[in-house]
C-alpha cells in the first residue's frame, strides 16, 4: 500500500506575501500617489517571483527514496532563486527605475519578512 505524501501548501504563504505587497502599495498610493504605489508593486514582484520559482522547484520530489533528488532540487531551486533575484533587480533598475526607492525596498523587505509566517501558514493538517 503506497502512502500518499501531500505537498506543503505554500500557496498560502505566497498569498500572504501578495497581501503584504498590496498593503504596501495601498500605503504608497495614499502617501506618495501612483508612482510610489508602482514602486511598491515592483519591489513586491522582485521578491515574490523568485520565491514562487523556488517553491515550484523545491517540492518536486518527496519521500525517503528520493533524498538525493530532493537535495539536488533544493540547490537548483536556491541557485535559480538567487539568479532570478539578481536578474529582476537589474531589469528593474535599468528598464524601469523606481520613482520612490523607499517604497520599492520597503515592499521587497515586507514580502521577504512574510516568510516569518511560514510555519503558521504552511503547516500540515493532522491525520490523527
What's the pTM value of the predicted model, to 2 decimals? 0.78
Dihedral over Cα of 88, 94, 95, 101: its sign:
positive
Model confidence band, residue 60 (pLDDT cutoffs 50, 70, 90): confident
| Contact in structure between 47 and 112 (CB atoms under 8 Å) | yes
| Contact in structure between 60 and 41 (CB atoms under 8 Å) | no
Model confidence band, residue 88 (pLDDT cutoffs 50, 70, 90): very high
**Residue 1 confidence (pLDDT):** 43
| Contact in structure between 122 and 13 (CB atoms under 8 Å) | yes
Q: What is the mean pLDDT of residues 45-55?
A: 91
Does 104 have pLDDT greater than 90? yes
Amino acid at each position: 500500500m503506497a502512502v500518499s505524501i501531500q505537498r506543503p501548501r505554500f500557496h498560502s504563504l505566497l498569498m500572504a506575501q501578495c497581501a503584504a505587497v498590496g498593503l504596501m502599495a495601498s500605503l504608497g498610493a495614499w502617501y506618495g500617489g501612483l508612482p510610489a504605489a508602482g514602486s511598491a508593486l515592483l519591489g513586491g514582484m522582485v521578491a515574490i517571483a523568485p520565491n514562487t520559482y523556488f517553491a515550484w522547484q523545491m517540492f518536486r520530489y518527496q519521500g525517503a527514496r528520493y533524498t538525493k533528488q530532493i537535495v539536488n532540487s533544493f540547490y537548483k531551486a536556491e541557485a535559480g532563486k538567487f539568479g532570478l533575484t539578481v536578474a529582476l533587480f537589474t531589469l528593474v533598475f535599468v528598464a524601469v527605475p523606481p520613482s520612490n526607492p523607499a517604497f520599492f525596498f520597503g515592499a521587497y523587505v515586507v514580502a521577504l519578512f512574510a516568510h516569518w509566517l511560514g510555519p503558521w501558514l504552511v503547516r500540515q493538517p493532522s491525520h490523527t
